[in-house]
Structure 1
Amino acid sequence: MVLKLYARTGWGGGGGIVALTLAEKQIPFEHAAINLAQKEHKTPEFLAMHPFGQVPVIVRAFPQFHRNMRSKALPLLPTGLKERALVEQAASVEFANFLPAVLNVVTEFVRKPLSGMPTDDAASATALAELSTVLDVYETILSKHRYFGGDEFTIADLFHFSYAPMLADAGVPIMTSTGPNVARWWNDLISRPAWIKLKEEGIKGTAI
């Protein structure tokens, strides 16, 4: 048996991040598609796995999972104390600064148009300005090393895939127009084979 990932089918959000992590680690998994519109995440069976009825959910189907996470070639988390601290700091910056800013832009340029809500030019401009301010700091950080958490691709970079790729699809090229270091980093990230496959196919389980 392999790892089982309960998530929506698309590449965005937390389910996409988990699927991308597993793909980068070359860990096989089975995808159990959850239809949120049909409240499949609120059934008694699902609530037994997650009492708040939220996705994604991982069910560990074999005892070697943690060992495999440690043994795969791509570490995602460095073992050195200094390097590990840098990655954890970067992940905190993504969560506290980048994520709120990018979500505001996604709301104005992606979610509102999709739901038929009227757009707010002032709110859109404010959201873009806030994200631009965050990316100006990213420009300085990324002038010092190749990736956001150091010179190797790590979980701190991977977290950015949750919502930021939606921006270019919505005609907002801010990830590649803010500065050369941010553009270089972002183009590197979206060129990763695991990401290209996930975006093309959505979440699909991989066999052993």
Structure 2
Amino acid sequence: MVVKIHGMAMSTCTQRVATALREKNVPFEIVPIDFAKGQHKGPEHLKIQPFGQVPVMEDDGFFLFESRAIVRYIANKYKDQGTRLIPTDLKGAALVEQWASVEVADFDPYASAIVFEKVFKGMFGLGEADESKVKELRSKLDAKLDVYEKILSTRSYLAGEEVSFADLFHLPYGSLLTPAGHGDAITSRPNVKAWFDRLSARQSWKETQAAAQQ
């Protein structure tokens, strides 16, 4: 049975999952959820995602929500095919989880909030960006990325020399910093830029981006 992803191809969290599925060479289809019609808050969707969000994975009758949890499930279930997104050794796997936690705590809160203020507010008619808030968010993001810059001076990816799901987690919002007018948060740091360029060049991400534009 083909894995189904209930969501939107342009959704950042759906893209996180779609990229991992492509890395693992897992066939899947996106079951579109129409936000404009409020389908994400409708009774059918709430049965599988009680918070009314996307994406939700459906795998042979098993439903799972939260994009990062879905990616972990995919990485473990299909560990022997495609790109190995999590090391087989205990210490390597722990380092990946360490950096996955860093993404949640020290990257996403600032990058996603900047994108919300500078991109999504205008896209969804939610008013003007709060520039004072953006300035504060950018300052905090810069401090975090300064640490990334030091770490990435010693390795190709966050947890070592092999790409992991912790790296891929950064792609959706990291890629939107440029249209948000803050791409220099990444490009002004040579090691961070080289790392993000490697991630952005992956075929899985290119295909995910192309699907989002259809």
Q: Which has the higher contact order (CA 8 A, sep 6+)?
A: 1
Aligned mates of 2:44, 2:160 — CA distance in 1:
42
User: Of 148, 151, 154, which aligns to 1:141?
Assistant: 151
Flag structure 1 segments of 5+ consecutive residues without an equivalent: none
Q: 1:175 touches 1:186 (CA, 8 Å); kept in 2?
A: no
Q: What amino acid does structure 1 have at the position aligned with 2:141?
A: L
Q: 2:24 touches 2:75 (CA, 8 Å); kept in 1?
A: no
Distance 1:131-1:66 versus aligned 2 partners, 3 A rule? closer
Moved over 4 A (4+): 65-68
Distance 1:67-1:132 versus aligned 2 partners, 3 A rule? closer
Q: Deviations over 1:84-143 (max 9, x none)?
A: 111111111111111111123213321233335223332222221111111001001111
CA deviation after TM superposition for structure 1 residue 166, in Å: 0.8
Which position in structure 1 is the counterpart of 2:200? 190
Of structures 1 and 2, the larger Rg is shown by 1
Q: 2:110 touches 2:137 (CA, 8 Å); kept in 1?
A: yes
Distance 1:178-1:39 versus aligned 2 partners, 3 A rule? same
Which position in structure 1 is the counterpart of 2:39? 40
Q: 1:136 touches 1:178 (CA, 8 Å); kept in 2?
A: no
CA deviation after TM superposition for structure 1 residue 203, in Å: 8.6
Aligned mates of 1:44, 1:55 — CA distance in 2:
14
User: Of 89, 103, 118, which aligns to 2:112?
Assistant: 103
User: Between the two proteins, what is the percent identity of the paired residues?
Assistant: 37
Is residue 121 from structure 1 mapped to residue 120 from structure 2 by the alignment?
no
CA deviation after TM superposition for structure 1 residue 46, in Å: 2.1
CA deviation after TM superposition for structure 1 residue 198, in Å: 1.1
Q: TM (normalized to structure 1)?
A: 0.87
Aligned mates of 1:47, 1:104 — CA distance in 2:
25
Q: 1:103 touches 1:163 (CA, 8 Å); kept in 2?
A: yes
Q: 2:96 touches 2:166 (CA, 8 Å); kept in 1?
A: yes
Which position in structure 1 is the counterpart of 2:30? 31
Aligned mates of 1:74, 1:68 — CA distance in 2:
13
Aligned mates of 2:87, 2:170 — CA distance in 1:
18
Aligned mates of 2:101, 2:75 — CA distance in 1:
23
Aligned mates of 2:76, 2:93 — CA distance in 1:
19
| 1:1-208 equivalent positions in 2, closer than 5 A | 1-10=1-10, 12-61=11-60, 69-114=78-123, 115=125, 117-202=127-212
Flag structure 2 segments of 5+ consecutive residues without an equivalent: 63-73
Count of aligned pairs: 202
